[in-house]
Structure 1
Amino acid sequence: MHSHITISTWTAAVLATITALSFDACADEKQPLSFTDFLIKHKGALPVPVVITEPAVGYGFGLGLLFFSGPIGESGATDSTGQPANRGPPNVTALGGLYTQNGTWAVAAAHFHTWGDDRFRYLGAVAKVDAHLDYFGLSGQPRAYTLLGAGLLQQFLARIGNSRWYAGVRYVFFDASSNFAGGVVPTEVRNFQKDQRIGAGSLIVDYDSRDNIFYPGSGSFAELESQFARTGFGGTQNYIPFYAQPYVDLRGVQKGRYQDRNAISIEAELRWDLTPRWRVLGFTGAGKAYGRLESFSQAHDVQSVGVGFRYLIARKLGVSIGIDIAHSKDQTAFYVQVGSAWR
């Protein structure tokens, strides 16, 4: 069993300054860019270019396709501001792939679905990956390794009464082969196995009062997860291997750079509305990883800071796109974002 705690603080709204063409066939010339009718009524796909600048894998490019359906598409009712009266999240199907300069590639498919006026939520995904990564460990020096495998995610949540609370289960399976460069395994990597399966079941409790799952303007989201990796769930061993242990997850910090049995991170974001569609934001965060390699007091304190913008491309869906630029010690990275950076 391990823990990974992330605390996210929502504060008010966003910035940016750019003009756009209107792609709405029925809109007047002053109507801003919006894909909502195309995405929902005509079953169109939202193409999402993925420009990869993650320090862990280098520069790269990917492409995702998002398909929307469900509650918003089935109801034409709107409130006084023109927003949909039914604020339940839409159903989303996603397909995508990516490739980076160090040879890392991945393909994936996922589906998110709700029933009963958002009383039940389902999330499923499959993926295949060939990743070229670094393990840092106690030395703090990168040790190159490759990870080739295929995985499955299944999750089901049910609302508790009429509250904002949800409870349910999550299952993760990953069948992978890993290799360290030169065949030299770091001494702190215990019980190393080249071929290994992860089978993990989780009990989950969520609190979700967000007005939109993609890029909220108000509300809160929190999740408590107890995860158990067991052979009974299809795993090779009753533990999580080195590459799947928790790490400090902040914009501007290399994925897996600070990793241990436990990880805690906190990030706050302040957003300003420039127009109903354009927003700018600033954010900062801190965290540390601890537990086996280093104690809490010995572990490095990690900080990051950054700025970004969003454009509300599909108003009724609440889908925004934009860019974040973030900096931490000795690292700067930018990210093309669809909605919020907090997942």
Structure 2
Amino acid sequence: MNMIKLITLKAFRLNLVLNNYLKAFVLLFVFCAYSPISHAQTKSDSIKKHKEKFSFKMLKDTLDGNLDMSYVLMHNNGFIPVPQIVTESALGGIGLVMAPVFIKPNKHQVEGEHVAPNITAAFAGYTANKTWGFGGFRKASLPKYHLKYTVGAMYANINMEFYRDIPVVGNKEFDFNFRVAGGFVSVLREIANTDLYMGLQYYYGHVDVTPQFQNVEIADFFKEKDFSSNIGSLGLALEFDKRDNVFTPDKGWYISSQYQVNANWTGSDYDFQNFNLEILKYFQVTPKWVSGLRFQSQLQFGDAPFYLEPSVVMRGVPMAKYQGDEVYVLAMEQRYDFLYRWSAIGFGGLAKAPTKRVSFDDAELVYSYGGGFRYLIARMFKLRTGVDVAWSNNGDFGWYIVFGCAWNNFN
């Protein structure tokens, strides 16, 4: 049944206004991004493939006639051009990252189960403080062999601020330039049809660091070998994913844990270990109200470079502002689908980052809160996108273009 017929005239008018606004935003990128699209072979045309040039009609859902990217994504050249406005104060306060994201349904479907689609993306970005970078990744699964894998690579020139408490001076900013080249690979295998995956992951990168301030000796956290070093991290990973959707879940669990070793034999110039745990829980309070809970802990042991110390990651919190040997985050997100395509978002969280010198009880309590909206941009994939605004301690503020669930960016 056409869903538009199920809502009132007033709601229909609101939906039309909001939908036209989003069309203007998305079609600007689609117009430049899409080449001619090949239609899939049909039963009536089993010998010759039918090809058709791109038309904006392809962006209308056959269910309700609204803007939808499902049809385009289901075909060979379909992708979503995701613009990410960088509002991170540690990176200059403003910037733009463009990321074409290709999403394909997995060829090997399992009846009665949600099989995550394969995702391939590239990115390139630039910010106001002359930070720039480019790279790409692929995240896919082979259900026939009970395997998941992720591969990626990047190069970046990053100008970034770090914060430290200096005796007498107090909290001080330190500017650094980083030139980073690295790659990542992860391969996980399912254990006896339990939805629990186990495997190995490895990251290797070369990092050149240049302080952008005088009196380097005041930064006692900066060591001589930090000027130029290699990071080689080998990890054991566990993953349990029972979400009903990998992009914008309505219900289910996601549990991820890694133990990572950095040592001479792994190709690293440093000797340290990390243990990370992330737990996400989604449930429907009502058919239109989805509640999400997030717990994260990061523990670090050994002698890591300052830029790899665990830090609090929440919307509204400046990157790397709150670092510690341990990090604990507890957050929630509420989504209410007030129209078929449109949703309102509210979220908040608390975190602490204790160090060897500052206990958990004495560590500063970091808080974050905010809200936003979502639009169901690809119905067949249950993919929602939108904008969030957030605030945290000392009036820090950020706003974000969100693709799927914001928490996906954190893991």
TM-score normalised according to structure 1 size: 0.87
Query: CA–CA distance in 2 between the matches of 1:87 and 1:190?
Result: 48
Query: CA–CA distance in 1 between the matches of 2:195 and 2:103?
Result: 23
Of 96, 99, 122, the match for 1:95: 122
> Match of 1:306, as an amino acid?
G
Following superposition, the deviation at residue 127 of structure 1 comes to 0.6
Query: CA–CA distance in 1 between the matches of 2:74 and 2:99?
Result: 17
Note the residue ranges of structure 1 that are not aligned, 5 or more in a row: 1-15, 78-83
8 A Cα contact 1:205 1:223, kept in partner: yes
Pairing 1:296–2:360 present: yes
Query: CA–CA distance in 1 between the matches of 2:145 and 2:165?
Result: 45
Aligned length: 320
Of 195, 218, 221, the match for 1:188: 221
> Match of 1:325, as an amino acid?
V
Following superposition, the deviation at residue 24 of structure 1 comes to 2.8
- 1:74-94 CA-partner distances (Å, limit 9, x unpaired): 77x9xxxxxx96621111110
Pairing 1:339–2:370 present: no
8 A Cα contact 1:23 1:34, kept in partner: no
Of 193, 215, 220, the match for 1:162: 193
8 A Cα contact 1:203 1:226, kept in partner: yes
Equivalent in the alignment of 2:257: 224
Of 67, 74, 77, the match for 1:33: 67
8 A Cα contact 1:24 1:33, kept in partner: no
Higher relative contact order by CA 8 Å / sep ≥ 6: 1 or 2? 1
Query: CA–CA distance in 1 between the matches of 2:209 and 2:61?
Result: 53
> Match of 1:45, as an amino acid?
F
Query: CA–CA distance in 1 between the matches of 2:221 and 2:164?
Result: 7
Pairing 1:59–2:94 present: yes
Q: Secondary structure at the match of 1:37?
A: helix
8 A Cα contact 2:59 2:67, kept in partner: no
Equivalent in the alignment of 2:29: none
Following superposition, the deviation at residue 265 of structure 1 comes to 1.1
8 A Cα contact 1:64 1:97, kept in partner: yes
Equivalent in the alignment of 1:19: 19
8 A Cα contact 2:59 2:69, kept in partner: no
Name the structure with the higher helix share: 2
Equivalent in the alignment of 1:134: 161
Identical positions, percent: 27
Equivalent in the alignment of 2:380: 316
Note the residue ranges of structure 2 that are not aligned, 5 or more in a row: 1-13, 24-55, 273-303
Pairing 1:255–2:290 present: no
Match runs of 1:266-285 below 5 Å = 266-285=330-349
Query: CA–CA distance in 2 between the matches of 1:145 and 1:238?
Result: 22
Equivalent in the alignment of 1:106: 133
Of 141, 147, 151, the match for 1:124: 151
Following superposition, the deviation at residue 136 of structure 1 comes to 1.1
Equivalent in the alignment of 2:282: none
| Compared CA separation, residues 86 and 38, structure 1 to 2 (3 A) | farther
For the pair shown, the structure with the greater C-alpha radius of gyration is: 2
Query: CA–CA distance in 1 between the matches of 2:139 and 2:103?
Result: 10
